[in-house]
Amino acid sequence: MKDIKVLTNVIHEYAWGSHTAIPELLGLKTPFDKPMAELWMGAHPKSPSKTDMNGAMVTLADLIKENPKDTLGNYAHDKFGSRLPYLFKVLAAGKPLSIQAHPNEHQAKEGFERENRRAIPLDAGNRNYRDANHKPEYICALTDFWALCGFRRIEETLSYLADACPKSLKRHRDDLSSRPDGSGLKGFFSSLMTLPGEDQQRAVEEAAGHSKRLGSKSPVFEWIVKLHHDYGCDIGVLSPIYLNLVCLKPGEALFLNAGELHAYLHGSGIELMANSDNVLRGGLTPKHVDVPELINILTFEEKDLEIIVPDAVSDLERVYPRKAEEFLLSVISIKTGDMYTASPNRTAEILLCVSGQALLSGEGDANAVAVDKGTSVFVPASAGRYSIKGEATMYKAAI
């Protein structure tokens, strides 16, 4: 199979989604009636993309299963079997997502088997592990993108605690101050997340009250106020105190490894991850929260954020550093008169056009496909050294 395939993708309409970002990308009316949160491109069993095959719509998973070596390429097939190892998304946050983390490979397999033994349905609301895979991921900003990611320096946390919660969390601050290390951080986070209801409400309301006064001092306090407005006295409102806060500019990215606590707050971005839907949540959500299991998978260490930008590998393509064996993210920018030619040693790729128009042509007798803003395509390995002409910007997921 050499043909480049246009994809029809599933859109998830979560309450935190945007009424404008994904509709604008797809050329739909804005504001859209419902919040569009995530556009999935890939072969995950929960929401596989579909494409036309001889007049019938088939899932990308079935297409790959029927032609695994042609679609994935020999290297990818030998490494990952008859499955696409990555999941490509557009994420659009109109309001903050849950505080969450993802398991490592061992934790995912163990958790998936454990919940299977308990006969918890895969689509059950209280299911933590929906597959046996880990979920390292890139988030790359398409707009200004606010996020919380990783535990900030303990001395910073202590300072913000003193400003926001001088009374209600004094004991927690003193405990962390006496053990300013990983074990102290774990103890602090565990005790915070398990505060009794009245104590939790008291801490959040104190933090929100002080933060209204301190808002001009730091975006940390501004976000505490916003989170309190959206989520009331949810304990996650305090997360900017102990997590690194960042605003990514378009093109900037973060890489999140297993066990890294994070929350996406506002903006739209490209996500590329291992092909998994395993999420452990701790707050800022009406969905299932499992604090003990979240604590079990977290990495408790201070982290300085690494904002990642891509490196130019040619005049037309910039590649983000490889951080996981399942995927590689790059951005292709072409102008009229340019021609992008793919590598001869390539694997299965998905491309998403985020602006402009272009023509993709496969090698030999493969078809040519016209794309514009919002169009995504699957390029099988057997399409060979395909080329792109036109004037467009496209994000590319590869193995």
Catalytic residue set: 281
CB distance 318 to 129 below 8 Å: no
DSSP structural state of residue 36: B
CB distance 368 to 360 below 8 Å: yes
Q: Where are the alpha helices (DSSP H) in 67-169?
A: 68-72, 74-80, 105-117, 154-164
Cα-based distances in Å from 313 to 265, 330, 331, 332, 340: 32, 10, 10, 10, 12
Cα-based distances in Å from 83 to 60, 69, 71, 348, 376: 10, 10, 10, 10, 19
Distance CA 208, CA 221 (A): 8
363 exposure class (CB count in 10 Å sphere: 0-12, 13-18, 19+): middle
Distance CA 199, CA 332 (A): 51
SS3 51: strand
Q: Assign residue 55 a region: left if phi > 0, alpha if psi is -120 to 50, beta otherwise?
A: left
Cα-based distances in Å from 80 to 48, 107, 160, 303, 326: 18, 19, 45, 31, 8
β-strands 376-379, 243-248: how paired?
unpaired
211 exposure class (CB count in 10 Å sphere: 0-12, 13-18, 19+): buried
Residue keyed to tokens 């933090």: 207
Task: Calculate ∠ Cα 273-279-284, nearest 5°.
Answer: 120
Cα-based distances in Å from 10 to 22, 90, 178: 12, 11, 49
**Within 10 Å of residue 180's Cβ, how many Cβ atoms?**
16
Q: Which residues contact 371 (CB under 8 A, 6 or more apart)?
A: 6, 351, 353, 357, 358, 359, 360, 377, 392, 394
Token pair of 209, please?
């009250």
